[in-house]
Chain A
Amino acid sequence: MQIFVNTNYDFVKYRFVAVAFSLIWMLVGFSLFMKHGINWGIDFAGGANIVLKFKDQVPMNKLRADLADASIQQYGKPEDREILIRLPKQRTEIDLAGQVVDRLFRDLNPPAATGKLDLNYHGRERLTDLLASLDPDNKGTRPDARAYYAQVAQNIINKRSELGIFTNMQQATSAPGVTTGIARILNERTYLGSFNVRNQETVGPQVGRELQQKAIWAVVLSTLAMGAYLWLRFDFMFGIAAVVCIVHDVLVSLAFIGIINGEFSLNIVAALLLIVGYSINDTVVTYDRVRENRRKLKTRATLEEQLNLAMNQTLSRTLLTSGTVIIVLIALILFGGKVIHEFAMVLLVGVIAGTYSTVTIVPAVAIAWNHLTGRKHDIAGPAARPRVEPTPREETPTRKRKAV
């Protein structure tokens, strides 16, 4: 299948419309930032995130009473009975998530005071210790006794991971390797607590501050590095156009975060860094074509004409490549789960912005620069022709020639 063969769209004509559109988009995004304030996630703001999965109904009121300064919200679908607890930054470095989880564990589980083991909360090690010390299967002091119980404990925990949380003791006692003796211990000495910790994160105030600075530097420096590389490989005008294009793509993506009121996390910064490197690809391909054509063109051509020609020649490739990446990103957005959802969304916007800016923003900057510097990038020729023939005929087909 072939689409966009020998097209002859006048891209540069629409560049001001596009610039206006981009500016409006950014304006909307950034005014929303102004309105909501920047939503720094705990990676940068410091604080703690805790995700808990509950066995029964989530005791929302009790949680809210217990954790006055926390924001508590449902995480995922209601039937998952999962909640995300977000705790604000503390002034000192403390083990915030750990302390809160420990407090909730004691508050929400009356049997915890008896010293019994909570099969939904405690881990493999403690279960191994319990089983090995009571030794229901009479393994005695044989060296492999502990390994035997450790394996059973691992099986029970694996079962829990598979289910998400145990809702009745049968589920635990039906794990592989559980003998009647072990089952008796489980029934007598353990209980099923009300929640399981899916995830807990604490970022201290200092680390948060450092990450924030590191993130800003990484984005700025990689943009400049990219501009420098393209300046070296092409010319100064293109280096400038490329940097403007990258800044545009990053700003459009940032504005998108503002529009959806998304949270700045490490993953989002990773997405921005990737946009810096990837969205410029289309621009490189196009400009490569401009340069190649320049060597072949025998006729007069303004920069506008050169750009239009190159963009039409590479249009099919541009759309197809962006298309494949977009297909992959849509798969990640739909099926990748909560952790990479926003990452993939921002990347999607960045990739689309990258493709769009290649045919709008880059020409706008390059043409403006060309006008300001006395039209050095126009090619003088004997006469202007309506349509420029892209490939010269005299070249022999077998001769290898680098495009550089």
Chain B
Amino acid sequence: MNRSLWWKVILILAVLVAFTAPIIPTKNNPEPIRRGLDLKGGTHLVMRVNVGDALRIETDQAAEALKSQSTKNNLPVPTTRRINDTTFVARPPAGISTAEYERLAKDYLPSFDMSRTPDGALQFKMKAVSASAIERDTIDHAVETIRNRVDALGVTEPLIAPESGNRIVIQLPGVDDPARVKDIIRTTAQLQFRLVEGNPGPDVKSALETVPANLKNEVDVLPGTREDELGRAAGTEFYAVRKTIPVTGTDLKNARVQKGRLGEPNVGFSLTPDGGRKFGDLTGANVGRRLAIVLDNKVVSAPRINSKIEDQGVIEGSFTTQQAADLALVLRSGSLPASLTTMEERTVGPSLGRDSIRQGVRAALIGFIALVLAVLFYYKGAGINAILALLLNLVIILGMMAIFKATLTLPGIAGIILTLGMAVDSNVLVFERIREERRDGRTVRAAIENGFSRAFGTIIDTHMTTIISALFLFQFGTGPIKGFAVTLLIGLFASVFTAFFVSRVIFDFWYKPQERPQTISI
């Protein structure tokens, strides 16, 4: 046997080893080929980040800043009204010129464009650059927060990625309790500590009536849970709380579940040094008053301040252990900058995943055996050649998937076996050519030579068309279908190699030119 043939054989064996090694499960890597959510069970979520929330906050803060700067500069406070997420109108009291406010706005509201409404008020619209920067930050922050929460849940190999249209794709393999996970991801968890004015009441109006008249514009009325003497939930009541928010969730250092006096679960928190100082000032100056703990615009509890508190506190409420644990988790992982809306959910339970993989593998095996029998029956000796090429193709597909950490999905399993069915085509094209050449009276060697060289162009063309459609499939599909496109693409590239190079070497090996073979089994 000549040298170049040896080198080719060695190359093929090297390829075999190189792609077999990654698919052998090891202790560190028990699952060399990642199973997709449809096989493993898990949840695929597409959430929209309502960036409008963040823009609104920014706009409100700008309006507040204009007011507070007016006070500092001894100007009458203008009335402000937000028109949409990025625009507000400021109207000075009657008879006051807007010129002074314009000067203030230039200095303190650099990210807003100012214009004048027909009736002489000032309109501020957030600059497009600033708005898109806030949107970007909001998405990044949301991704980060969701990642923290998902990590805290102990999900292995989650995927959390931003997508166009202010969306975030979240893939959580192995999650079998989607309701809880969704709750945890979606909780905005904006924690605020705000002073209570007046007394709580059964509706908004009665709560507001107890607030002193001069403070009526300085409070928000928020709902909360009314508790009976034993601390059990007993209906809703409303609290008037100050608009100013001295301490928020960002001042928290840590939060954990602990047990109260009666063994009831609650959430203890500790504050950052800076947050502790602010909290100390707030509680020190307001001993005897009630402080509302507000979570996502609901009053969780409103304890009376007994003394100055600096570095830690407790959030009490009628929690179950699970609720307290989940609250501590979301507080630790930080608040979301904006609310989330579920756009799409696909959850596969673990039992369905198990059935799918079983059925998929069984169908693929049966298909493969049928394929092998058909090829052997039709091409006899050369059939073995085609089957060796197919097996190597299979090893390359699986090896590539392991190396590139591609995900195997149920359509992907169908894709592998279908690719093999199609890959036979390359062998068939070559074999049919060899047969034709033999019928035309060529020698075995000449028939092999011509068979391979003439089929080459055709095989490239048939592969190209399928590759083009696989690329469209990849671009179009999500999840399982992408997995299908990936296996198809790898398989097509591999089949050019196996049908040409490998199959050729096997022929050369069996029908060596120097031996002048007289017959060929094909």
Contact = CB atoms under 8 A, between A and B. Distances in A.
B177 A124 contact: yes
B421 A285 contact: no
Contacts of A168: none
A366 interface: no
A275 to B, nearest CB: 8
Given A5-B439, A328-B417, A225 B343 contact: no
Interface in B361-393: 362-364, 366-368, 370-371, 374-375, 377-378, 380
A360 interface: no
Contacts of A226: 465, 468-469
A202 B345 contact: yes
Interface string B6-36: 0000000000000000000000000000000
Nearest to B378: A1
Contacts of B443: 397
Interface stretch (A24-32, A137-145, A184-192, A335-343): A335-343
A201 B363 contact: no
Given A123-B175, A218-B472, A343 B465 contact: no
B461 interface: yes
Interface in B139-162: 153-154
Interface stretch (B56-64, B94-102, B188-196, B320-328): B320-328
B484 A270 contact: yes
A324 B349 contact: no
Given A157-B176, A332-B417, A403 B354 contact: no
A51 B352 contact: yes
Interface in B174-211: 175-180, 182
Contacts of A160: 350-351
B421 A324 contact: yes
A102 B177 CA distance: 11
Given A93-B343, A280-B465, A327-B371, A321 B428 contact: yes
A266 interface: yes
A391 B371 CA distance: 32
A24 to B, nearest CB: 28
B508 interface: no
Contact of A332 (B367, B378, B461, B467): B367
A122 B175 CA distance: 11
Contacts of B175: 123
Interface string A344-382: 100100000000000000000000000000000000000
Nearest to B380: A1
A266 B421 contact: no
B453 A267 contact: no
B470 interface: yes
Given A98-B345, A218-B473, A270-B481, A402 B453 contact: yes
A274 B363 contact: no
Range, interface on chain A: 35 or more
Question: What band does the interface of chain B fall in when counting residues whose beta carbon is under 8 Å from A?
Answer: 35 or more
A97 B442 contact: no
Contact of A225 (B351, B468, B473): B468
A329 B342 contact: no
Contacts of B488: 274
Main secondary structure, interface of B, reads helix
Interface in B458-482: 458, 461-462, 464-470, 472-473, 475-478, 480-481
A325 interface: yes
B420 interface: yes
A2 interface: yes
Contacts of A2: 435
Nearest to B455: A403
B341 A93 contact: yes
A280 B462 CA distance: 8
Interface string A16-53: 00000000000000000000000000000000000101
B48, B178, B353, B442: residue with the most chain A Cβ atoms closer than 10 Å: B178
B424 interface: yes
A317 B468 contact: no
B345 A325 contact: no
Contact of B454 (A125, A225, A401): A401
A203 B417 CA distance: 30
B46 A207 contact: yes
Contacts of B325: 129
Nearest to B360: A336
B354 A161 contact: yes
Interface string B409-420: 011001001101
B344 interface: yes
A14 B428 CA distance: 27
**Which of A202, A203, A324, A339 has the most C-beta atoms of chain B within 10 angstroms of its own C-beta?**
A324
A340 B343 contact: no
B253 to A, nearest CB: 22
A98 B179 CA distance: 6
A102, A230, A267, A273: which has the most chain B beta carbons within 10 Å? A273
Nearest to A95: B342
B466 A278 contact: yes
Interface in A166-190: none
Contact of B347 (A197, A280, A321): A197
Contacts of B456: 402-404
B179 A403 contact: no
A123 B176 contact: yes
B450 interface: yes
B345 A95 contact: yes
Nearest to A230: B465
Interface in A258-308: 266-267, 269-270, 273-274, 276-278, 280-281, 284-285, 288, 292
22 contacts: A51-B352, A95-B182, A98-B182, A98-B345, A123-B176, A125-B176, A157-B176, A158-B350, A199-B348, A204-B344, A226-B469, A270-B473, A273-B473, A288-B458, A324-B425, A328-B421, A334-B366, A335-B366, A340-B360, A340-B414, A402-B457, A404-B457
Identify the 5 closest CB pairs spanning chains A and B, nearest first. A277-B469, A397-B446, A123-B177, A331-B367, A123-B176
Given A125-B154, A266-B478, 11 more contacts: A115-B320, A129-B322, A197-B349, A218-B476, A266-B480, A270-B477, A327-B374, A332-B417, A335-B366, A337-B355, A337-B360
